[in-house]
Amino acid sequence: ETLAPEVVVAVDGYLPEVVDRALGSVRFRVTLLGRGGHAWGDRGTPNPVFALAEGLSRLHTLFKEVGGEASLNASGLRGGEAVNAIPKEASALLEIRALEEEALRTLYHKAQEVLEEAAQLHGVEVSLEVLGTRPAGSTATPRLLQAAEVALAKIGERPQFQPGSTDASAAIERGIPALALGVYRGGGAHTPEEWVLPQSLWEGREVLLAFLKALGVG
């Protein structure tokens, strides 16, 4: 039996942040292939690592020009097995995020072109594998936004509405009214220095209960 919730609230993030708009994203792996060979005996043979480096450098420049409406992240770079061997393969994991769905599609196709050009320039093959997508958009209703304002007023705060990628994105993709409500104070997300004030969870509890009450739940 299919579950059809009226609203979805992701309990995620810092106080007093409220994510009321989903960032669109596309995650993909780029792989470049060559013949490989000996670093000296086969010198001049196309090197997929150089092609990957050039492609990533060009993409970095492209996204600097785009500005704050979109982002590019590169991670998980791999290539080669020995310092004296030309690698047969190089790869990287890439993620593009954007506020608007159309911009996301445009930037992905542009990234594809840039990587293909870099591969052609270096004489290697290239392939892209999409690993996952999330649509951009918002389903936060006035009722949800007002409930967030009422809830955060309980601790003397005003909501900081902002776009983001949270568990609420899955509901937004299905057209279900949704947002993400921050419930703790901290910083440094996704770094070794990430921190949380444990006592702030009491504030978060108060905010969450007030939010549910404002929605007529509990």
Angle at 205 between CA 202 and CA 211, to 5 degrees: 145
Give the dihedral sign, CA 190/196/201/206.
negative
- Same domain for 32 and 130, yes or no, is yes
Domain hosting residue 194, numbered range: 8-23+137-214
- Same domain for 101 and 197, yes or no, is no
pLDDT band at 2 (very low <50, low <70, confident <90, very high): confident
Q: What is the mean pLDDT of the chain?
A: 96
For the entire predicted model, the pTM comes to: 0.89
Query: Is 155 inside any structural domain?
Result: yes
Is the distance from CB of 196 to CB of 25 less than 8 angstroms?
no
Total count of domains within the chain: 2
Q: Which of 118, 134, 150 is where one domain is finished? A: 134
Query: Is 2 inside any structural domain?
Result: no
Is the distance from CB of 85 to CB of 37 less than 8 angstroms?
yes
Q: What is the CATH number of the domain that holds 54?
A: 3.30.70.360
Q: Which of 134, 167, 197 is where one domain is finished? A: 134
Digit-coded pLDDT (tens) for 118-141: 999 999 999 999 999 999 999 999
Give the CA distances from residue 84 to residues 39, 47, 79, 88, 160, in Å, rounded to whole numbers and listed in that order.
5, 12, 13, 13, 53
Digit-coded pLDDT (tens) for 41-56: 999 999 999 999 999 9
Cα gap 91→79, rounded to integer Å:
6
Query: Is 73 inside any structural domain?
Result: yes
Query: Is 1 inside any structural domain?
Result: no
